[in-house]
Amino acid sequence: MFQRFHRACPAYRSLLTAHVFLILQADAAPRYLPSQFACSAFQEVVAGDVRGEAGRAVRQELLGRSGILVVRRAAPDADSLEAWFDSLHVWREGPEGRIEPDTEGILGGRWIGRLTRPGHWIGTQTPFVPDEVAAVMDLRPLLDEFFPVLPAVFLRVGAADSSGGSVIRRERDVAGAHRYTWRLQRTVDTVAPISDSLEVPIRRDVREEGTMLWSPDRGPLRWDRTISTTVMPSGGSAKARGVVTQRITVIRLRDFAPCGAGRAGGLEFRDTREPKPLVRRRSASYVILTPTGDPADVGSIPKLRRIR
């Protein structure tokens, strides 16, 4: 009887198939998919410090970046993505003073490539970066490590995956979003160009820890990470080294105007740890929304400065 009913009711078959798909999806490892980026926008805030040591000489600088990065499929059915800055502010401050270059020359310039399911960027095109911006911050490899790497397997709450060189743990869910934390430590031997004809072998030690909120349907909602990179000559004295520490927060925006929406967007997810960045915008003010779509507390909205 069940088989006759199943054959006679296409709607039931479709419902059953969808139900089975949802069950399988719930127990599947998180993966980046092009469909998650039909058109998405991410508000990024980076604050860092640089310390250079050479013998007894010490130099310290501060640096920062804030802006809105738009990421979307290069074509409706394509596997590749394109990304560009809709707004951007970079700065660097040292003993000689503060530098804030004009970033107009990079706005709209495209990064094009493919984001693998675990989260590795394979780029095919990078935008032109003006010299004055590159002198403060080299943005050409921006997409190489923009998105956090995902666990290779499905994790239940409290479980961890260490198969990819880092330890990724799933914590308790937050408002229906999966929450992951990770720790990473790696050493890379490479070269640093000193001039057009001279390269110096260096060793780069990287330590990273972070946390991310992930939606099974929409993908990444928010992530916070701290990256500390120590660079020194390979086989040289430990007294000559540089240490760069970056604190990065990225929040996904909702209904962002450049993606075709009729109004400016709000945050896809927010919590009490939300930063208050300075971002240059050229559209109307934002409306901050919770995951349920309700307006958030106006008093906790980040301040966004308009360009007149």
Predicted TM-score (pTM) of the model is: 0.76
pLDDT score at 258:
66
The segments of the chain whose pLDDT lies below 50 read: 2, 5-6, 12-13, 15-24, 261-308
The token pair at 168 is 């990724």
Count CB atoms within 10 A of the CB of residue 131.
8
In Å, how far are 5, 117, 205, 277 from 114, measured between CA atoms? 44, 9, 27, 29
pLDDT score at 240:
83
pLDDT score at 80:
94
Count CB atoms within 10 A of the CB of residue 64.
21
Q: Tell me whether strands 160-161 and 166-174 are parallel, antiparallel or unpaired.
A: antiparallel
pLDDT in tens, 80-122: 999 999 999 999 999 999 999 999 999 999 999 999 999 999 9
Query: DSSP strand E in the chain: where?
Result: 40-54, 57-73, 81-94, 97-99, 111-115, 121-125, 160-161, 166-174, 177-195, 198-215, 219-233, 240-254, 266-267, 280-281, 305-306
pLDDT score at 294:
32
**Look-up of token digits 């003073």:** 97
Ordered by start, the domain boundaries in the chain are 1-30, 31-154+238-306
Centroid of chain to Cα 122? 15
What span, in angstroms and rounded, lies between the C-alpha atoms of 11 and 225? 46
Q: What is the mean pLDDT of the chain?
A: 79
pLDDT score at 93:
96
Centroid of chain to Cα 301? 21
What span, in angstroms and rounded, lies between the C-alpha atoms of 146 and 119? 9
Instruction: Using alpha carbons, select from 98, 103, 101, 102 the residue that is nearest to residue 62.
Output: 98
For 17-38, b/e burial (b = at least 16 CB within 10 A) is eeeeeeeeeeeeebebebebbe
Sign of the CA dihedral running 222, 227, 32, 156: negative
Q: What is the DSSP letter of 43?
A: E
pLDDT score at 281:
34
